[in-house]
Amino acid sequence: MSRFYDVLETRLPAEREQELLTALQVQLSHVKAHTSWGPLLQDVTPQNILTPDDMSDIPVLRKSDLKALQDKQKPFGGLVAAKWPQIKYVFSSPGPIYEPESYRADYFRSARALYAAGFRAGDIVHNCFSYHLTPAGRMFDSGAHALGCAVIPAGVGQTELQVVTIHDVQWIDYPHYVAPVKLKYLNKMVPSSLQRAVRIAVPSRFVAGTLVRAFGIAPKKISVVRHGLEKAFDGETTSSDALRREFGLGSGPVLVYPAITHPHKNHAFLMHLMAHGEGRWGDPALRLICMGSKGSAHDEVLQLIDTLGLRDRVVMAGRVSNADRNGLLAMAEAMVFPSEYEGFGAPVIEAMRCGTPVVCSDRGSLPEVVGDAGLVCPLDDDAWVRALEAVKIRREELVTAGKDRARAFTSEISATELVEQYDLVLAAARGIR
């Protein structure tokens, strides 16, 4: 099975750029000839758009301007060349602005994104976007159908048969880590959604307990549906020699921490261990490589690295390829995970699957997910010094236990457990009706 949706994804960059510019020329010519936006493009000659820099000559149509155009010339502001027999749906998005959908397959071109996410013909897509006035539901519905997938249209509606999935409720215990606007939204929407739900799926008993404590949810409504690993972790693995060269890791032991640089991920704890820790933490040859996207505490982490003089020992790799991620996990002496809060903590399972010992905090769901297959420690310097020493002594035991533990967290198991929740809801509905 091809990794790519079609041959367009395998074009050379220069070829792709030229074909896109040619398509843009055609589109601009079409707009000028067949829509009322033509006068706005009177100073634009499509055939002269030969490089990306030339695109600066094209006027930008902002959403606010589009609303004004549509108010003057309903419903589409004169920008749609298609005639009514060619239009299948008309949507109203926030603004409001009005958007058409024609009879063309995959009108919104979402099939490519769904394919990249792993969906294939014969899969069943659970689409939670709205199927009412807004186009979101149809955007993914049409793409899924273009791939040959069946779709469960699970958007807003049928509120008496809701299954709600909750990954975590970090904002309950750590509101200071959440933007005020988002916090207000969560406080307003989440409690009512939970109360309406017939079933609630969570990834850990820890999250289930928080829902009971914080919102008074009946425990019988909540089921634990474990997350499963992506198949990408079975893919290519970059060699340790190549990774040491690429990231400047030297020849000594390596620790890895895969986490976005958000405050609760607690990168600072590891930095202080590297700077002041005893035992193996103080080994000048030891390298800590942090991989993951930039979070809200990224600048603070970088500043701390400079302040503590750790530039030579701490590598901030950012996002890495799947092959590099697999290789870094496989070569690491341990994966260290000092997070203050996790609703599940998938990286610890990923490490175990790669045969890498795990040292993690005793916060959130981590003790539950790791079990006896890793070293679970309080966020105390001495405990983490002892843990790193224990990794060296117990490595073979931890590798074996971790791989055994990881087998309980697969995408197949996760999907089966989630489907069971829908079966319970449907069975109850049939009993009522």
107 falls within a domain: no
Dihedral sign from CA coordinates of 19, 21, 24, 26: negative
* 396-398-401 Cα angle (round to 5): 110
82 falls within a domain: no
Mind listing the pLDDT tens digit for each residue in 101-135? Answer: 999 999 999 999 999 999 999 999 989 888 888 89
Same domain for 168 and 24: no
pTM for this model (two decimals):
0.69
Last residue of a domain, one of 12, 42, 60: 60
Same domain for 424 and 374: no
Same domain for 428 and 357: no
Same domain for 217 and 268: no
CB atoms closer than 10 angstroms to residue 365: 25
- The token pair at 364 is 């959130």
Mind listing the pLDDT tens digit for each residue in 45-64? Answer: 999 999 999 999 898 888 87
Mind listing the pLDDT tens digit for each residue in 130-157? Answer: 888 889 899 999 999 999 999 988 876 6
268 falls within a domain: yes
Mind listing the pLDDT tens digit for each residue in 368-414? Answer: 999 999 999 999 999 999 999 999 999 999 999 999 999 999 988 99
- Which residue intervals of 5-161 are DSSP H helices? 13-34, 63-72, 111-116, 136-147
Same domain for 243 and 181: no
Domain that holds residue 321: 237-409
Sequence-separated (6 or more) residues with CB below 8 Å from residue 315: 247, 248, 249, 287, 288, 289, 290
Q: Residue 159: is its pLDDT beyond 80?
A: no
Mind listing the pLDDT tens digit for each residue in 23-38? Answer: 999 999 998 888 887 7
Same domain for 328 and 197: no
88 falls within a domain: no
421 falls within a domain: yes
297 falls within a domain: yes
92 falls within a domain: no
- The token pair at 298 is 């990224």
Same domain for 359 and 242: yes
Number of compact structural domains in the chain:
3
Same domain for 326 and 307: yes
Mean pLDDT of the chain: 91
Q: Could you tell me the CATH number of the domain that includes residue 164?
A: 3.40.50.2000
Same domain for 283 and 187: no
Last residue of a domain, one of 39, 60, 81: 60
